[in-house]
Each structure stands twice: as structure tokens, then as C-alpha cells.
A = this chain, B = another copy of it.
Amino acid sequence: MLRDRTRTALGAAAALALVTSAASAPVPKNLPRGVSEVLYEIVVPPGAEPTPEKVALGDKLFNEKRLSANDQVACATCHDPAKGFVDHKPLAEGIAAPAQRTQRNSPTVLNAMFNAAQFWDGRAPTLEEQAKLPILNPIEMGQKSPDDVVAKLRGISEYRSAFQQVFGHDLTYDDVAAAIAAFERTQYAGDAPFDRFVAGDEKAIDESAKRGWGLFNGKGRCNACHAFSTVSPLFSDQKFHNIGIAAHKTDFIDLARKATAIVRSGDLKQIDELAIQSNLSELGRFLVTKNSNDIGAFKTPGLRNVAVTSPYMHDGSLATLWDVMDHYNKGGVPNPNLDGGMQRLGLTEAEIDDMVSFMASLTSAKLGEFGKQEMARQQARKNVRPERDTAVATGKKGDLGDLAPTPDRAKPAAFGVLVRKGTSYD
């Protein structure tokens, strides 16, 4: 009885603490520039805003290492709020690290609320479904089952009472996911120098960034996928593209045949484990859709705060924004499923610098100092350029099957045709 009373008192104190902490993160009345009201209303319908208590509980859970099987890994371990909600490691590391790492780079939680689907391959349709999977993944947080998670949290009095207060019943696994998702729906990203520039402040970004914005929409073709509009200012088309990352080490056709035989479409748990732990991971979106045009395709990430979320790409294989530009400049890495939009760009070094300057102008004010540090760090290794291949980028070398920038017009049958052997054209 005493024990129960103690627990109740502790629980009430914890609940109070949650409410107090929540007061500093209310649901926004005035969204910052660069956050679309239209999108916000779709994601957080009027009248369905999460309560501050639910958000605070989600915040606490997000940072809670006891959510993992060994009490060592929280959501925040890979999505560190102090680091732009990423871990700055190529591949995410959970309870099995360093012996076994995951196959995917940690994406930021910033603006994840606006993603059409979650994870690099979009395998989870909502933030809630996303939150449930890493907790149960054997090498990430390692819980055996939703029941195990619920039992563990119910054994912690502060959670028992906080969930009771927020949800009005004994906590469930759905509640855990709902609270984490509610917190994540407060993590929108706007208020960048670029947003002030679009609003009319011509001095908000420098001349190099302005040139970069022009290249972004023109010669660089970035806007074809990293679409920006004032209504949808995410810099993402929310689609999935094969841009030739890891393509040189992947036999996509062989992997696709294997995956076709074993993937149980709709079984998120199975697909999660294949994506995180197996070499089928490189198939990307194909694991979810079994659509051949999705082989090796990954989600177009938004570009806000890209300066603070290195390294880049689904496998964290590119260390800096200069590496990213080098990759695109040479038209990606040829493979039979390369997106049709990938072409050699023929960008000069000065143009690449301008485009990096533009991307750095997308850092939210609250991350401004960190962004400057990160860009200085990347700038310092600007001369280490493993992806740079100027001869290919300028069309002097390499058979990419494309036209740009210097096609051999005497051989039109080769345009866009990378492979003939082993196909119906053999």
C-alpha cells in the first residue's frame, strides 16, 4: 500500500514535470516562414492538434533508452535532437553495434511529419508505424515484441501514470507510437536565410547562394526531384528514385529475383528486417512495391538543414555536399534502373561551390551556428573528392547512354541504352 502510494506520488510528480516541460513547446499559432500552412493542416488537422501533455510524453519517450532491450539505445541515439536529429554516422548503430551495423543512414526527424511515407524506402505510411519498427528491430533497439515493450513501460511508474493521464487507459504499444509521433509533429523546419530571401530580403543570402539557386533550377536540374514551391516548401517530390548510389557493387537484377521470391508484401516487420539487416537493402523501394521501376530507388529527402545532416544518401556513403555534387555532376552511377532524370551536368568547380552555398542557406535559424561549424568542417576537406570525375561529368569519357553534354549523334541507337545483352534486344 505504501509502495503503491509512493508510486502514485512519483507518477503525479512525473506527470506534472511533463506538463511543465510541455509548456515550452506549445502547438504553434504562427508557423515560421518556410513551413506551409496548407501542409500543416493536412498533417495536423484543425481540432486534432496533439495536446502539450502528449507531445511532452513523446519527447520523453524519444529520449528514453529503456525503450531498448539493453537500456542503451533511444530513438535519440540515432536521431540526436542536438545534432539535427541525426547521428553523423554513415550507417545507424543500435544494440548490435559495433559487431553489426544497420544498412541505412539515419534520416533526420526534422520535417519528417511532412513525408508522404517514412523510412528511406517509404515502408511505413505514418510516423506512428515508423516509430514502432526500430524498437522491435533485432539490431536497433532489440525488443522481442510489443507486449515486452508494454510490460516494461508499465513497470515504470512515471510512464504508467503519464500514459494514463494522456490516453485515459493502461498504456498500449499504439499509445507509445502515438506519443512519439505527436512529438515528431512539432519538429517542423523553416526560418532559414533562404526563406527570408524568398519573402523579399535580397540580402538574406549571399551572391554565391543566389547563383546556386539559379543553378539548382537550371543547369543542375535539382528541382526536377527536390521540388520547391511556396505551398510545398520541402525540396522533395516525395517520390523514389534510383540515382545510382551503391550501384557499382550491386547486381540489382539478381537481388530483385531473390526478393521477388521471398518478400511478403504488406508484412512491414519482414520488410523492415530485410531493409535493415540484409543485402537486399540496396533494392530500396522495390522491397515495398515489387515494382521494377523501384529497384535501387530511395526517397528524395527534403533539403532543409542538409548542412547539418551529413553524411549523405541512404547508405551514408557520401561524406560532404561536395561529394554529393560530384555524384550528380557525373550523372550518378550507370545501372539498368537509373532514373531517367539522371544526366551528366558538366558543372564547373565554381558552380559546385555556388550550389553548396545555396544548400547551406536552407539551415533553420535555431541550427544556424551548428550549420556554420558543419560547413566549415566540410569545407576543410573540400579537396578530398573521391566521387569527382570531371572527364565523365563533362562528357569526355564514359558511356552513360545519355546525351548530355556531348553525345555522339552518329550513334543514336545507343542513346539511353545501357544494356542489350541478356534482354529481349540481345
Contact = CB atoms under 8 A, between A and B. Distances in A.
Interface in A405-425: 407, 409, 412-413, 415-420, 423-425
Contacts of A200: 413
B340 A230 contact: no
Nearest to A409: B214
A143 to B, nearest CB: 28
A355 to B, nearest CB: 13
Which of A216, A228, A291, A336 has the most CB atoms of chain B within a 10 A radius of its CB?
A291
B256 A38 contact: yes
Contacts of A79: none
A340 B239 CA distance: 12
Contacts of A150: none
A274 interface: no
**Main secondary structure on A side of the interface with B:** loop
Contact of A116 (B197, B224, B293): B293
A395 to B, nearest CB: 12
Count of identical protomers in the assembly: 2
Nearest to A416: B217
Contacts of A419: 229-231
A424 B224 contact: no
A308 B292 CA distance: 26
Contacts of A340: 223-228, 237
Nearest to A238: B293
A72 interface: no
Contacts of A416: 213, 216-217, 223, 228-229
B404 A224 contact: no
A33 B227 contact: no
Contact of A425 (B38, B198, B218): B198
A337 interface: yes
A232 interface: yes
Given A230-B420, A336-B231, A403 B214 contact: yes
B407 A293 contact: no
Interface in A171-230: 190, 195, 197-200, 202, 210-211, 213-214, 216-218, 223-230
Closest CB pairs A-B (n = 3): A227-B340, A218-B403, A116-B291
18 contacts: A31-B424, A33-B424, A34-B424, A38-B423, A41-B260, A199-B420, A218-B404, A224-B341, A229-B336, A229-B418, A230-B418, A230-B424, A230-B425, A231-B292, A231-B336, A232-B292, A232-B293, A236-B293
